[in-house]
Amino acid sequence: MSSNTNILLTRGLRLISSKPNVLVRNKGVWTPENIVKSPYKDVEIPNITLVDHIWEKMDRWADKTAIICGVTKRNYTYNQLHKFSRNLAANLRKKFNIKDGDVVCVMMPNSPDYPLAVIGALQAGAKVTTVNPVYTPHEVSRQITLSRPRVLIGIPELIPILKEAIKLSNISLPIISCKGYTNDNIPEGTISFDELALDTTVDHSILGEVNRNAEDTALLPYSSGTTGLPKGVQLTNKNIVANCVQQDVDEIKYYEDTTASYQDRILAVLPFYHIYGLSITLLHKLSVGVKVVSLPKFQPQSFLNTMKEEKITLLNAAPPIVLFMGSHPDLKKDHLQYVNLMTSGAAPLPKLDVDRVLDKGKEGLIFANLYGLTETSPLATAPPKDSKDVKIAGYPVPNSEARIVDSNMRSLGPNEIGELLIRGPHVMKGYRDNIEATKNSITEEGWLKTGDLASMDKNGGLIIADRLKELIKVKGFQVPPAELEHLLREHPDVQDAGVVGFPDARTGEVPKAFVVLKDGSNANTRDIIDFVNKRVAEFKRIKDVVLLDSLPKNPSGKLLRRVLKEQYS
């Protein structure tokens, strides 16, 4: 989830002492120090690993479906997921010499094998880094170089990308191949995922060597943070487990308990490589026994068919999906007849767009806009289920607090706009191998600087005002300008470059480049656009290049993207 993910809420809450799980509205969330405390009941955070948390209550739903592909209908029960992930874990230790703290890299679209790969790697003692399956070899190579994995896991369709990325990284790595969507043949030079996960002869005793605890890093997603090139966000077992149990408080419990006769069904169309899809849609829902219905990517027909065929009850979405649902003529009430609750992240949504979806749903359908960041595991604020106000971005989740500060880090009061800071057990350990970036993002008191401009009203309701960050949002995806600027400067005719996002009716924003050519160069803009776009995923592609004699910079030489945006808007 990126840092501009909104939520709803109207007033504070307090506990009724005689009923520990019952919450009532109360305005007393501001402290004298201008800190807004979470109005939700504190939760006990288990001192265990993420894997132990996922399996903690599995005996209640062992025979129920854990995950099923909405396209192929291939599936695993919870019992199978547990068994096969242990097989994979043991083989990763035995055949690939995975040790505690090593990194396993997963690059594939959503599928039933995705949680098997992630949980298996974690059970082997590894950290998991996930890669966008639409990345080019150059982008994959950079993440390989930064994360230094010991093993890569992909699907046949992506093996050529992984092999080329390995070459670009000048290293040798084993590749494990899962089943694909168009090709199940195991490519030459790779190892069969099924042979490792379905191995009935493997000795699980080797897993006794694993020694991981709550403070160890479990997930290593890459985020652009507030500036610059991607940074490895170190999310510990405690971070993710905390964020899971923070979602279990009654007032913000966006699911029904799994019982012998009932199981919620969530549509997992948001990608698992992204922390929103991985943590909220997949890992948290597995920890509470929900049936996860995965789609490899968003396609209108498979989305509509799966909503109806699988009788989806829960849906985590992003703004483009919500807009599609509200406007597409083929989406009818019968597609939403079982849906009890929807959430949306990545960017705020106007009330009109939300209402268009609610009008198609059944009476009582709950819609919640969410706010979070990769660095907060990711959910940071959440609305009570009965909230109707889409302007308010919610309250901090249990065991956490928020404040608004000015440029001098002075805490501001109600309705004053400044940078949003968050503190709690879900805040990341820090950026991997980047002490300076960590120090710039987390204060000595543990406050995470979100990079978002916001205010909080007198009742503690969060209102996102704007982004301090200069990330470009394309269809909800983050596009770091520095990454594109770096690629532009690799062009033999480019002396300097700046990239900013400009509004676009279809995608939200589009990257636009401003380039200074080297003396004597006669390169044309089409060549420059093609040079960059061959090296990046589709959502990062530059749409326009403007040639300039110079770029606006401050006295220290820092590019002033804000000035570019103002001058050329």
Report pLDDT digits (tens) over 500-537.
999 988 888 999 999 999 989 989 999 999 999 999 99
Cα separation, 436 vs 430, in Å, equals 10
164, 109, 177: which is closest to 137 by C-alpha? 164
SS3 of 275, please?
helix
Cα separation, 235 vs 369, in Å, equals 23
Q: What is the average pLDDT across 544-558?
A: 82
Largest CA distance in the chain: 79
CA 378 to chain centre: 7
Q: Which residue has the higher pLDDT, 278 or 566?
A: 278
Distances in whole angstroms, Cα of residue 454 to Cα of each of 404, 464, 501, 556: 7, 4, 20, 28
For residue 3, pLDDT beyond 80? no
What integer pLDDT is reported at residue 482 of this predicted model?
83
Poorest-pLDDT segment among 369-373, 400-404, 417-421: 369-373
Beta strand spans in 406-507 (E): 418-423, 430-431, 448-456, 462-467, 472-474, 477-479, 494-504
Q: Which residue has the tokens 């709950």?
A: 366
Tens digit of each residue's pLDDT (9 = 90 or more) over 225-278 = 445 578 999 999 999 999 999 999 999 999 999 999 999 999 999 999 999 999
CB 49 within 8 A of CB 237: yes
What integer pLDDT is reported at residue 6 of this predicted model?
33
Six-digit token string for 404: 């608004």
Tens digit of each residue's pLDDT (9 = 90 or more) over 16-58 = 333 333 333 344 589 999 999 999 999 999 999 999 999 999 9
What integer pLDDT is reported at residue 486 of this predicted model?
85
Q: Which residue has the tokens 């401050």?
A: 554
> Is residue 58 exposed (0-12), middle (13-18) or buried (19+ Cβ within 10 Å)?
middle
CB 527 within 8 A of CB 545: no
What integer pLDDT is reported at residue 557 of this predicted model?
64
Q: Which residue has the higher pLDDT, 366 or 464?
A: 366
What integer pLDDT is reported at residue 347 of this predicted model?
62
For residue 7, pLDDT beyond 80? no
Cα separation, 79 vs 62, in Å, equals 5
CB 328 within 8 A of CB 300: yes
pLDDT above 70 as % of the chain: 92
Q: How many CB atoms lie within 10 A of CB 365?
A: 15
SS3 of 151, please?
strand
CB 30 within 8 A of CB 414: yes
Q: What is the average pLDDT across 292-320?
A: 95
Cα separation, 429 vs 267, in Å, equals 30
Q: Which residue has the tokens 């978002």?
A: 452
What integer pLDDT is reported at residue 393 of this predicted model?
77
Q: How many CB atoms lie within 10 A of CB 27?
A: 14
Residues in Cβ contact with 549 at an 8 Å cutoff, skipping those fewer than 6 apart = 516
Cα separation, 43 vs 398, in Å, equals 7
CB 422 within 8 A of CB 400: yes
H or E stretch covering 488: helix 481-490
pLDDT above 90 as % of the chain: 76
Q: pLDDT confidence of 398, banded at 50, 70, 90? A: very high
CB 127 within 8 A of CB 220: yes
Q: What is the average pLDDT across 345-369?
A: 86
SS3 of 19, please?
strand
What integer pLDDT is reported at residue 212 of this predicted model?
98
The domains found in the chain, sorted by start residue, are 13-41+249-269+285-293+301-309+320-467 (3.40.50.12780), 50-212 (3.40.50.12780), 472-568 (3.30.300.30)
Q: What is the average pLDDT across 149-159?
A: 97
Count H helices and E strands in the chain, helices first: 16, 31
CB 445 within 8 A of CB 423: yes
Q: Which residue has the tokens 């008191």?
A: 445
Q: How many CB atoms lie within 10 A of CB 379?
A: 30
What integer pLDDT is reported at residue 391 of this predicted model?
75
Cα separation, 173 vs 151, in Å, equals 6
Cα separation, 141 vs 412, in Å, equals 43
Q: pLDDT confidence of 9, banded at 50, 70, 90? A: very low
